[in-house]
Structure 1
Amino acid sequence: MGIVKISDALHDQIRLSSAAMSRSINAQAEHWLRVGQLAELHPHLNYAGICALLLANARRADEAGRVGGETAPAVDRLVRLVGEVRS
């Protein structure tokens, strides 16, 4: 685990959002990092689509007995499915 330095203003936003979403401050920051990373990798997806990717990954990881595992396989699979639906 590493340390990431952020501005006080962003930390305050994370703290407020973490309370509203019933997450720890670290969990909220990690969620935003994941969402932001997926948004950059898949700009055609909206927030709901990104959350669907995260949920699909969590389900697959849970089925495999490894919650918190790698996101790439599930993300790639779901992105292909979303692309097929849009075509």
Structure 2
Amino acid sequence: MGIVKISDELHEELRKASGVMARSINSQAEFWIKMGMMAELHPQLSFNQIMAELLKSADVSAQHVTSGETIPDAE
């Protein structure tokens, strides 16, 4: 484990995003770093394709998960 120095502005964005995503600030940073690394290694894949591959590799399936919630359309 090490220390990564980032700008105050990026740290603030991490803090806000971590609250929305229910992750710690460190977990949010690690997620963004991992996704950036995966995007650089696989530039032909979209974010959704990368996520699908990561979930598949962990044997995660949402086949039986249902939600009564709807996600509003982005404007």
What interval of TM-score do these two structures reach, taking the shorter chain for normalisation? 0.7 to 0.9
Corresponding residue for residue 64 of structure 1:
none
Specify every segment of 5 or more residues in structure 1 that has no aligned partner in the other structure, as ranges.
61-87
Whose RCO is larger (CA < 8 A, sep 6+)?
1
More helix by share: 1
Corresponding residue for residue 56 of structure 1:
56
Q: How far 1:52 moved relative to its partner?
A: 1.3
Corresponding residue for residue 25 of structure 2:
25
Q: What is the CA deviation profile of residues 43-86 of structure 1, one whole-angstrom value per residue up to 9, with x for unaligned ones?
A: 000010111122123338xxxxxxxxxxxxxxxxxxxxxxxxxx
Q: How far 1:25 moved relative to its partner?
A: 0.4
After superposing on structure 2, the runs of 4+ consecutive aligned residues of structure 1 that deviate more than 4 Å are: none
Q: What secondary structure sits across from 1:59 in the alignment?
A: coil
Corresponding residue for residue 71 of structure 2:
none
CA RMSD of aligned residues (A): 1.4
Matched, 1:47 2:47: yes
Partner Cα separation in structure 1 for residue 28 and residue 8 of structure 2? 15
Specify every segment of 5 or more residues in structure 2 that has no aligned partner in the other structure, as ranges.
61-75
- Residue identity over aligned pairs, in percent, reads 55
Q: How many pairs align?
A: 60
Q: How far 1:13 moved relative to its partner?
A: 0.4
